[in-house]
């Protein structure tokens, strides 16, 4: 791969908690846990170990990332701020 475009945005995605219980077993097939941090520019987010984020979470995150890249304001999409939003993974 030879990336030729210098991206204007870098995204940081952090797992902050669970909706059900206190563990990932039987809920998150990818094993994400609170405190896990993923970063990306245009590609899919990866953590410090090079592992990718859950594909179901990415389906939810991608439209939000595109909105930011297009100059949008996430508060208009229920965000906590212009560039932040709490998202619930569909898993």
C-alpha span between 50 and 19 (Å, rounded):
25
What's the pLDDT score for residue 80?
Answer: 93
Tokens of 39: 């970063």
Tell me the percentage of the chain whose pLDDT exceeds 90: 64
Q: What is the SS3 string spanning the chain?
A: CCCCCCCCCCEEEECCCCCCCCCCCCCCCCCCCCCCEEEECCCCCECCCCCECCHHHHHHHHHHHHHHHCCCCHHHHCCCECCECCCCCCC
Average pLDDT over every residue of 13-27: 81
Q: Is 90 exceeded by the pLDDT of residue 24?
A: no
Residue 75 banded pLDDT, cuts 50, 70, 90: very high
Q: Rounded to two decimals, what is the model's pTM? A: 0.86
């Amino acid at each position: 791969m030879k990336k030729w475009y210098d991206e204007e945005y870098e995204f940081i995605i952090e797992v902050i908690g669970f909706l059900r219980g206190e563990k990932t077993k039987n809920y998150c097939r990818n094993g994400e846990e609170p405190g896990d941090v993923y970063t990306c520019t245009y590609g899919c987010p990866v953590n410090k170990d090079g592992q990718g984020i859950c594909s179901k979470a990415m389906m939810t995150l991608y439209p939000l990332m595109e909105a930011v890249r297009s100059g949008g304001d996430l508060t208009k999409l229920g965000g906590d701020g212009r560039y932040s939003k709490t998202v619930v993974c569909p898993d």
